[in-house]
Amino acid sequence: MMEWNVDTNEKEMGMATAVSNNKLLEVTDLGVTFKTDEGLVRAVDGISFTAHKGKTLGIVGESGSGKSVTAQSIMRLLPNSAMIDEDSSIAFYRDSGPIEITSLDNRSQKMRELRGGDIAMIFQEPMSSFSPVYTIGNQIMEAILQHRNVSKQEAREIAIDMLDKVGIANPAVRVDQYPFELSGGMRQRAMIAVALSTRPSLLIADEPTTALDVTIQAQILELMRGLKDEFDMSIIFITHDLGVIAQVAQEIVVMYLGKAMERGTAKDVLGNPQHPYTVSLLGAIPKLGTLGGRLTPVGGDIPSPLQRPSGCPFHTRCKQKIEGVCDVDPPGITRVSDTHTVYCYLYE
């Protein structure tokens, strides 16, 4: 079993904070609604989870499940058309005390310090996450100069050092190159270098390996795992790929249409899945050694977010749907064990 409350790598051991546990980021009842021309779209519908220090939290879900919107809410990078619910809370636990991110002004100094400073983010598309008209070094140094009190020359040295750390050969040359002179995998490495150059305590990785081919994907995952320990940080890893999540995450949130269907340690969710959605997702993954059997896809399509199903959002595709129950009222959250919760009537 994963141990939740054993503090192995607390950043500042001596700091006696009001928070006695090792929480780093606590999201409570996060709800996000988009105003669109077609009407209101409920992208995230009251989800809660906690990222712990030194751990990787995996958020897994299909496209449209609200996982990227969740990440953008934490960074406050949502477009103007999005509204975060009044009663949502995103608490970030700095050593100096907790900060409520939802109550910060989007453009305030404090929010900018958090963004890139305490919480860094990498994106799905390494091809377009760098601006093509500035060198890699310029964009790394920009982050360093913004958050660390160093001279330009020092920033450049840190940038070269970071490129070296993420496994880019010839960093002193690469630092002066433009993004289009680097391959996709190298660019994602460089993006990681940008993110980590400010020594954040939390890294949000939004599908960082989705656009890469499988061998590069494995290298990037390996790199991230190593750097997580070296930099003593936490990761929120967002992906639709359960195979990837199994390799990196210690805790998992399974999202569907803006709801957390199941939460628990990796062992809980992958080894002992409770929710019919999680079960069917796992059934759709090919396994080595069981050639011949057909994969069972999750039946049906994800409903339009404009017409959210009543009750449990998954009931339209669920094989174990209880008629007259699941499609009427939303289920409550049931505890399976201390670390494992599920959002389903089957366990109430």
Partner 1 sequence: MIRFVIERFFGMFVTMFFVSIMVFIIMELPPGDYADRYAFRKFSGTGVTVTESDLDNIRAELGLDRPAYQRYFSWIGGILFRFDFGDAFAYETSVNNVLGQRLGLTLAILFSTLIITYLVAIPVGIYAAVHRHSAADYGLTIFSYLGLALPNFLLALILLYISVKYLGSSVGGLFSAEYQDAPWSIAKFVDLLKHLMVPAIVLAWSATAFQIQTVRATMSDEINKLSVTAARARGIPERRLLFKYPARLAINPVVSTMGFDVNRIFSELPIVALVLGLAELGELLIQSYLDLDMFVAGAILLLLTFIIVFMNFLSDIALSFLDPRIKLKG
Only segment of 13-21, 51-59, 91-99, 110-118 that touches partner 1 (CB under 8 A): 110-118
Give the binding range for partner 1 (CB under 8 A) out of 142-150, 165-173, 258-266, 267-275.
Answer: 142-150
Q: Which of 54, 61, 64, 116 binds partner 1 (CB under 8 A)?
A: 116
Q: Which of 10, 62, 85, 142 binds partner 1 (CB under 8 A)?
A: 142
Q: Least distance from C-beta 75 to partner 1, angstroms?
A: 6
Span near partner 1 by CB under 8 A; candidates 11-19, 122-130, 210-218, 283-291 = 122-130
| Residues 196-215 interacting with partner 1 (rule: CB under 8 A) | 198
Kindly state whether residue 231 participates in binding partner 1, applying the rule CB under 8 A.
no
Residue 246's φ and ψ, nearest 5 degrees, are -65, -30
| E strand or H helix at 226 | helix 214-231
Question: Smallest distance from the beta carbon of 212 to partner 1, in angstroms?
Answer: 15
In the complex, minimum distance from the CB of residue 246 to partner 1, in angstroms, rounded to a whole number:
27
Residue type, 288: L
Among 94, 112, 199, 240, binds partner 1 (CB under 8 A): 112
**According to the binding rule CB under 8 A, does residue 143 interact with partner 1?**
yes
Q: Residue 300 corresponds to which tokens in the numbers above?
A: 């049906």
For partner 1, the binding residues in 15-54 under the rule CB under 8 A are: none
If binding is defined by CB under 8 A, does position 223 make contact with partner 1? Answer: no
The size of the interface with partner 1 (CB under 8 A), counted in residues, is 30
Which residue type does 138 have?
N
Residue 131 touching partner 1 (CB under 8 A)? yes
- Residue placing its CB nearer to partner 1 in the complex, 79 or 324: 79
Q: Which is nearer to partner 1, 134 or 231 (CB)?
A: 134
One-character DSSP codes across 230-266:
HHT-EEEEEES-HHHHHHH-SEEEEEETTEEEEEEEH
Is 114 one of the binding residues for partner 1 (CB under 8 A)?
yes
Interface with partner 1 (CB under 8 A), residue from 33, 146, 210, 320: 146
| H runs (alpha helix) in the chain | 67-75, 109-113, 136-147, 152-165, 171-174, 184-196, 214-231, 242-248, 266, 276-283
| Residue at token pair 């958050």 | 147
CA distance 113 to 108: 9
Q: Provide the b/e sequence for 112-144 (b: ≥16 CB within 10 Å).
A: ebbbbbbbbbbbbbbeebbeeeebbbbbbbbbb
Do the Cβ atoms of 313 and 307 come closer than 8 Å? Answer: no
